[in-house]
Amino acid sequence: MMRGRWRKLGATVRPILTDIPGSSLMSLNRSTTSHFSSATQEINEANERCLGSVQINRTADGRGYGIFAMRHFAPGERVIESIALKSFDKPHSHSIQVDWKSHVYIDLPARFLNHMCDPNLRAQLNDSNAYDFVALRTIEEGTEVGHDYETTEYELSEPIQCGCGSPKCRKVLKGFRYNESEILKTHDQQVLSPYLLSNKAIRLT
Ligand SMILES: [Zn+2]
């Protein structure tokens, strides 16, 4: 059942707000985050907001936090929405990429989504320049949900060693830039972030 088993070289999940380095950050909306006095409070708030839908919980195999479905989801159904709390022009280990030079720090629970090489969610760009996460297939209650980091990240800030156990596992994740051919063998192009399908001539190499 634990589809997303993986180990990151460094943090195991995109961590909590208080873990983020403060330098060189451009805050989009500090007031959005400042009312959380602790990580636990932020998790509790997210779990209350998403009650009956998804829940942040510790994984049984010690990977840290994961997101679990609290009900059945049908393919195409929106499972999690997110908003951008901060924006960066370079990737860091806790950001998600929305454009060639735009990386955002999203709210919980989506920030705690684990990577899956054979994901049950896809990231869909939303109106707030963050992502909603949509079911790629039927998701049963209790299942961990996750998405494929390399469908949004052109180049990860640090490599991730994946142990998800899927026959499709790419083992080492470095970003779409490095695994494009493998990703396109197993994923439909529609799961890619729109910017990855945009003008490739402006890629930041
Ligand atoms: Zn994997």
Task: Provide the terminal-to-terminal Cα distance of the chain, rounded to the nearest Å.
Answer: 38
Tally of domains within the chain? 1
- Within a domain: residue 125? yes
CA of 168 to the centre of ligand 1 (A): 7
146's tokens: 């996750």
Protein residues near ligand 1, an ion, with CB under 5 A: 117, 162, 164, 169
Look at residue 61 in the predicted model and tell me its pLDDT. Answer: 84
Are the beta carbons of 125 and 133 closer than 8 angstroms? Answer: no
- Within a domain: residue 69? yes
CA of 13 to the centre of ligand 1 (A): 14
- Within a domain: residue 191? yes
CA of 35 to the centre of ligand 1 (A): 36
- Within a domain: residue 2? no
CA of 25 to the centre of ligand 1 (A): 30
pLDDT in tens, the chain (205 residues): 333 334 443 334 444 433 333 322 333 333 344 566 788 999 999 999 999 999 999 998 888 899 999 999 999 999 999 999 999 999 987 899 999 999 999 999 999 999 999 999 999 999 999 999 999 999 999 999 999 999 999 999 999 999 888 999 999 999 999 999 999 998 988 899 999 988 664 555 5
Write out the residue range of the structural domain in which residue 79 sits.
7-16+25-202
CA of 107 to the centre of ligand 1 (A): 24
- Within a domain: residue 1? no
Domain of 76, CATH number, reads 2.170.270.10
